[in-house]
Amino acid sequence: MTSVLDQLRSMTTVVADTAELDAVRKFQPVDCTTNPSLVLKAFENAESKAVLNAAIAQGRAKGHGNEAIAAHLPIELGVALSKLIPGRISTEVEANLSFDKEASVKRALEIVEAYDKRGVGTDRILIKLAATWEGVRAADVLQRQGIDCNLTLVFSLTQAIACADAGAFLLSPFVGRMTDWFKKAQGVDEFKARHDPGVLSVKMIYDYYKSNGIDTIIMGASFRNVDQIKALSGCDNLTISPALLKQLGSETADLPRALSPETAAPAATQTIHATTFRWNTATDPMTNELLANGIRGFDQDFKKMLSILEN
């Protein structure tokens, strides 16, 4: 029998939740992603660190400041990753721009231009934006210009509907972070996969999208264990850490398909306007807290990148 990972690949696009070059080479995902957290982790890998150090040296040779160099590191790592995969590289607009639509669009265009200068075309990248209202509106502008976007830090159906209305290419619901929040809120140690709040949130988004013919790709992210992944087999994309990829690759049990367009539960269409988005986000404690924490966390990791450059 083939491995669980190979079975998963037959029904879902597997994305590597890492920017470490040797891990990507080993697991051969279709797509990859970069963000400040993954870039920091990549400094721990010799091959990836060499790429980053070369980019730092080149930036300093050109007289660039530390902030400009730090902003370019995910792109340089993305260029290296693009040589190892057939698909796309997601690259993040800095978190401190999450509430500025115009600045987010401007930065996205700079990222596209930087990749183009390194020989990586627009069809090979996704611009990652936090799924704030401003991030969603920036995605709407970029998608109309033919620049595909990945809306990240998704924790609610409200965010998912707004992303679809904006024509986003892809969105990333953070399964594990939702699960962690509900475990703490309910005082429980674990959820069975079929009752896992993070899994159920992705399933709700999947049902809404598929029953309404929405093309935006759903990419489950931030997994804590392989049971969560198995419970979402058949989802469009799943981004998985090397440790969990290894575990899936070592298992040979049968993997039934959990999600499919044919079995999606019907869901009534909704239209999300700015006031509805802001109200629903503000009054949902989980979404409100996790969205803010996610933005703050990415910003803190960007500052850690700056501190590395200052030493």
Show which residues are catalytic: 128
Q: Residue 247, SS3?
A: helix
Closest to 153 in 3D by CA, of 23, 297, 260 = 297
Q: How far is residue 306's CA from residue 311's CA, in Å, rounded to a whole number?
A: 9
List CB contacts of 298: < 8 A, sequence separation 6 or more.
35, 36, 37, 92, 94, 95, 130
Element (H, E) at 128: strand 125-130
Q: How far is residue 76's CA from residue 89's CA, in Å, rounded to a whole number?
A: 11
Q: How far is residue 216's CA from residue 237's CA, in Å, rounded to a whole number?
A: 11
Q: How far is residue 210's CA from residue 263's CA, in Å, rounded to a whole number?
A: 9
